[in-house]
Amino acid sequence: MALMSLDVTRRSASTSAAPSVRSGAIPDVAKLIDVSRCIGCKACQAACMEWNDLRDEVGTNLGTLQNPQDLTDRSWTVMRFYEQEVGDRGLQWLIVKDGCLHCEDPGCLRACPAPGAIVQYANGIVDFQQDRCIGCGYCQTGCPFDVPRFSARDQKAYKCTLCSDRVAVGLEPACVKTCPTQALSFGSKADMRDLADERVRELRERGLGQAAIYDPAGVKGTHVVYVLPHGDPGLYRLPAKPEVSPLVAFWRGGVAKTLGVLTMVGVVVAGIFHYMKVGPMEVDEHEEGRRP
């Protein structure tokens, strides 16, 4: 996505801050997914394909109403359908809109070794810049929600952009625009939290005492927030306590960097000592002669 109109606060594999962050003026944004209002109509999937000009393959039916079966480089959101017995409420058909949650502390960005291939804007949106992507796959390892997908065509990673191009000009994401039942809402993070609180209160009044907000602290909160009528994230196949893998933290964090630098310095020093002690490596003539 074009960066020109956006304020980048964080870039992958870069320590320097982006030059043009306007301070104070840009609120955190969030999309609210109220599962209790979702009817699984897939209009959000259609809108996502329309706006982002994505056309996935016409697949097959694998024994479920879910289609496409999974997120792909051309399906940035899919509705997942779970038939679930929930205590004394009996059978529930839980329909969960899957896609990027736009973590405040994005594991993908932290894992990414390509400078500027993953950025986070001042409004919180995490976006992939395919022109800088090197196709290493570390973003997949870094993501606690298994969201980024690789394109077999250009070897680059793709995922939901939260319609950063629309948001940059004051529009809501395409999925939110099209949702017929207001299961999706969009606004400032604070407003969405307030709305989520209201929805949870209503659900509890209706007898859904476990209703809860999903805005996991392990990634410092997300810019896609769920209202889960039955509360337990496990019912919706959402990780209960998502966090960026310690390996990623280690790999991209200060300790690993220091260790890496120390190792490199060590190798150089060892080389010098080796040279001083043994002298230059010489090839004896006998071996030379045996070369084909």
Partner 1 sequence: MTNHWVDIKNADVVLVMGGNPAEAHPCGFKWVVEAKAHNKAKLVVVDPRFTRTAAVADLYAQLRPGTDIAFLGGVIRHLLEKDAIQKAYVLAYTNASFLVSDGFEFQDGVFSGYDEAGRKYDRGTWTYQKGPDGFVKSDPTLQDPRCVYQLMKAHYARYTPRMVAETTGVPEDLFAKVCDAIASTAAPDRTMTSLYALGWTQHSVGSQNIRAMAMIQLLLGNMGMAGGGVNALRGHSNIQGLTDLGLLSDLLPGYLTLPKENEAEYAKYVETRTLKPLRPGQMSYWQNYAKFHVSLMKAFYGKAATKENDWAYDWLPKLDKVYDILTVFHLMSQGKVNGYVCQGFNPLASIPHKAKLVEGLSKLKFLVTIDPLVTETSNFWQNHGDLNPVEPSKIMTEVFRLPSSCFAEEDGSLVNSGRTLQWHWKAAEPPGEAKNDPEIVAGLFTRIRALYAKEGGTVPEPILNLTWDYRIPTRPAGEELAREFNGKALADLPDPKDRTKTLAKEGEQLATFAHLQDDGTTSCGNWLFCGAFTQAGNMMARRDTSDPSGLGVYPGWGFSWPANRRVLYNRASCDPSGKPWDPRRKLVWWTGAKWAGNDVPDMRPDAKPEEGVGPFIMNPEGVGRLFGADKMADGPFPEHYEPFESPIANPFHAKVGPNPAARIYAPDRDMLGAPGEFPYAATTYRVTEHFHFWTKHARIPSVLQPESFVELDEVLAQKKGIRSGDRIVVRSKRGKIVAKAVVTKRIRPLRVGGKEVHTVGIPIHWGFEGLTRPGYITNSLTPFVGDANTQTPEFKAFLVDVEKAPAGVA
Q: If you ran DSSP here, which 8-state letter would residue 256 be given?
A: H
> Helices marked H in 1-137 — which ranges?
43-51, 107-111
Residues β-bridged to residue 188: 29
Contact status: 88 vs partner 1 (CB under 8 A): no
Judged by CB under 8 A, which stretch of 49-57, 149-157, 234-242, 260-268 contacts partner 1? 49-57
Segment 9 to 38, residues that bind partner 1, using CB under 8 A: 36-38
CA distance 3 to 38: 33
Contact status: 53 vs partner 1 (CB under 8 A): no
Q: If you ran DSSP here, which 8-state letter would residue 69 be given?
A: S
Residues 34 and 227 sit within 8 Å (Cβ to Cβ): yes
Judged by CB under 8 A, which stretch of 55-63, 123-131, 189-197, 232-240 contacts partner 1? 55-63
Contact status: 153 vs partner 1 (CB under 8 A): no
- Widest Cα–Cα separation across the chain: 90
Contact status: 93 vs partner 1 (CB under 8 A): yes
Q: Residue 213: which residues within 8 A CB-CB, separation 6 or more?
A: 193, 196, 197, 200, 225, 226, 227, 228
Residues 212 and 196 sit within 8 Å (Cβ to Cβ): no
Which of 13, 43, 143, 244 binds partner 1 (CB under 8 A)? It is: 43
Judged by CB under 8 A, which stretch of 91-99, 104-112, 146-154, 159-167 contacts partner 1? 91-99
Provide the 3-class DSSP secondary structure of residue 216.
Answer: coil
Which of 59, 234, 266, 271 binds partner 1 (CB under 8 A)? It is: 59
**Residue 29 token pair:** 């944004």
Contact status: 57 vs partner 1 (CB under 8 A): yes
Which of 2, 4, 62, 276 binds partner 1 (CB under 8 A)? It is: 62
Q: Residue 94: which residues within 8 A CB-CB, separation 6 or more?
A: 35, 81, 82, 83, 84, 230, 235, 236
Judged by CB under 8 A, which stretch of 3-11, 86-94, 106-114, 236-244 contacts partner 1? 86-94
Provide the 3-class DSSP secondary structure of residue 185.
Answer: strand
Segment 197 to 216, residues that bind partner 1, using CB under 8 A: 202, 205-206
- Tell me the closest approach of the beta carbon of residue 183 to partner 1, in angstroms: 8
Peptide bond preceding 242 in cis form (omega within 30 of 0): no
Contact status: 284 vs partner 1 (CB under 8 A): no
Segment 179 to 198, residues that bind partner 1, using CB under 8 A: 180-182
If the CB atoms of residues 1 and 49 are measured against partner 1, the closer one turns out to be 49
Contact status: 65 vs partner 1 (CB under 8 A): yes
- Tell me the closest approach of the beta carbon of residue 225 to partner 1, in angstroms: 18
Helix and strand numbers (H, E) in the chain are 9, 11
Q: Contact positions toward partner 1, by CB under 8 A?
A: 36-43, 45-46, 49-50, 55-65, 67-68, 75, 83, 85, 91-95, 180-182, 202, 205-206
